Amino acid sequence: MALPHDQGESPPRRTSRALIAALLAVAALAGCRLWLADSLPLTDTTEARFGEIARKMVETGDWLTPQHDYGVPYLAKPPLAFWLSAVGIGLLGASELGPRVLILGAAFGFCALYFACVRSWLGTQAALASVIMLMSSLVFFVSMAAVMTDMVFTVCVATAWLAFWRRHEGGSGASEATMYLALGLGLLAKGPLAAVLFGVPVLAWSLGSGRAADIWRRFAWLKGALLAAAVAVPWYVAAELKNPGFLEYFLVGEHVQRFLVPDWSGDLYGRAHDAPRGTIWLYFIAGALPWSVLCVPALVAARATVRRNWRERRGLVRFALASAVTPLALFTLSRNIVWPYVLPAIPPAILAVVALLAPAREQALDLSRLAWAGVLSAALLTALVVANAPFIERHTQRSVVAGVELRHPHREVPVYYWQSRYFSADYYSAGAASVVSDGMLIERALAERRLFCLVVAEARRASLPDALLARLHHVGDIGDFALFEPVYAGS
């Protein structure tokens, strides 16, 4: 991003200082995100649910079908993100970092690839500016280590379009092979949406630039499709054979009805979202902060540079813009959306902005202010999370499960949740938590004089029957939850 130079310093010294500042900014962003990944609990619902699915993979040894509960398949998502989290849990245990570490590694790896590609097209300093902006964008920073499918999916799709442009610009056949492999992995990360988010901008740019015939000839599309299918199709076939009806639910329900039908009633694992149409653009503006606010005046102020770069880099800018707009346009008419859906639009949008603002390769780019903005973003985002730690703790059962374990450090005590399921309780109790909807199970446990802990949310405490409450002892409160044990537990 073109910034004013300090005329009191020589260009080499100024460039060296800017590069050091940029590298420190990248290190600060990476360090802050790693620390948060290791310290923040898995929260309900999404992170804890996906973390528990991965933990069950490790526990049961069933790596084919993700499980929503023991023996209950989770058919809403393909398994790639779950596989990464499960491997992380196998390496580091069912901790905070375990299910996040390989997702974070994939994000860091993509940032390195992003840097290498932008460097080859725009130069080292523009590439560093792009990486700083990418890592400090709100939705990207949050998602880098979130136990969700969105970052893994974005890495796959964005790698595919980077590889496409690299091959188009004269890259080797390895770039093209990378493109097809990334698409195959994208099918395993979130499904056919990967082909749509890649194919639409490629087709739009090819037709718009009059290069469609040339692109068709230069790329081995049919062989590439077979390579991508070889990566993904075996799992889809195996999943359908093991869970008849999976393909119909996943392809029709999750890929058509979920996005077109508000309050879709066919969702097997939660509830459909109902946002006003067009909300995806507001999500994008929020997710791209602070750059969605800062880049507009920068583009206006650098009109001459923007016009020159548009003439010289029109092909790259058009393709990047097509890649950024595609997911936003796709979800514009959908009301069943969530904030992370904008994530695939962030890398190409940043590339388009940097391509328009960066000076020619031979000219120095002052990164210092941008680097400090990146460091400030890392500090502010981290401070915001730390300041909201009590709010985060209220959305996880980590403290409650730890409190039960502290009371009984050498015994495995069943944990019953009154009328509500919390996936974070499943995760942190290693599957020992379960939900009771009435008092029958509790009555049986009391009759057999078994030790257990009953956890009751404050909002549901009034629904606990008085006859049952009389046979329980209130042993304490953790946050908004009351803990009860049998009266004979202390005898």
Per-residue pLDDT of 183-226, as tens digits, reads 999 999 999 999 999 999 999 999 998 889 999 999 999 999 99
Mean pLDDT lowest for which of 7-21, 153-167, 275-289, 345-359?
7-21
Cβ neighbours around 362 below 10 Å, total: 6
Average pLDDT over residues 309-330: 94
- pLDDT computed for residue 22 by the predictor: 84
How distant, in Å, are the alpha carbons of 4, 43, 282 from that of 358?
12, 40, 27
Average pLDDT over residues 329-338: 83
Mean pLDDT lowest for which of 274-283, 307-316, 466-475?
274-283
Distance CA 224, CA 25 (A): 38
The DSSP code for 251 is: I
Q: Comparing 409 with 400, which gets the higher pLDDT? A: 400
Average pLDDT over residues 427-440: 89
Cβ neighbours around 449 below 10 Å, total: 10
For CA atoms 345, 351, 353, 356, the dihedral sign is: negative
Q: Please, which residues have CB within 8 angstroms of residue 8's CB and are 6 or more apart in sequence?
A: none
- Asked, as a colleague might, if the bond just before 290 is cis with ω within 30 of 0, I would say yes
pLDDT(143) > 70: yes
Which burial class, exposed, middle or buried, applies to 421 when counting CB atoms under 10 A from its CB (0-12, 13-18, 19+)?
A: middle
Which range in 24-33, 314-323, 385-394, 470-479 is most confidently predicted, on average pLDDT?
A: 314-323
- pLDDT computed for residue 8 by the predictor: 45
Helix axes 150-168, 173-189, angle to 10 degrees: 160
Distance CA 49, CA 318 (A): 39
- pLDDT computed for residue 490 by the predictor: 64
How distant, in Å, are the alpha carbons of 77, 84, 183, 329, 390 from that of 193?
12, 20, 10, 13, 37
Distance CA 455, CA 260 (A): 39
- pLDDT computed for residue 360 by the predictor: 65
Average pLDDT over residues 331-339: 82
Model confidence, pTM: 0.91
Q: Comparing 338 with 94, which gets the higher pLDDT? A: 94
Which burial class, exposed, middle or buried, applies to 71 when counting CB atoms under 10 A from its CB (0-12, 13-18, 19+)?
A: exposed
> Average pLDDT of the chain?
88
Mean pLDDT lowest for which of 91-105, 356-370, 469-483?
356-370
- pLDDT computed for residue 382 by the predictor: 85
Distance CA 355, CA 154 (A): 21
- pLDDT computed for residue 251 by the predictor: 84
141 near 135, Cβ under 8 Å? Answer: yes
Structure-block tokens of residue 340? 């992370």
Distance CA 11, CA 408 (A): 66
Cβ neighbours around 432 below 10 Å, total: 17
Q: Please, which residues have CB within 8 angstroms of residue 237's CB and are 6 or more apart in sequence?
A: none
pLDDT(60) > 50: yes
Distance CA 324, CA 201 (A): 9
150 near 143, Cβ under 8 Å? Answer: yes
Residue linked to tokens 């523009």: 126
Could you tell me the end-to-end alpha-carbon distance of the chain, in angstroms, rounded to an integer? 71
The 3-state DSSP class for residue 319 equals helix
Average pLDDT over residues 387-391: 86
- pLDDT computed for residue 359 by the predictor: 80
Q: Please, which residues have CB within 8 angstroms of residue 305's CB and are 6 or more apart in sequence?
A: 2, 356, 357, 359
364 near 444, Cβ under 8 Å? Answer: no
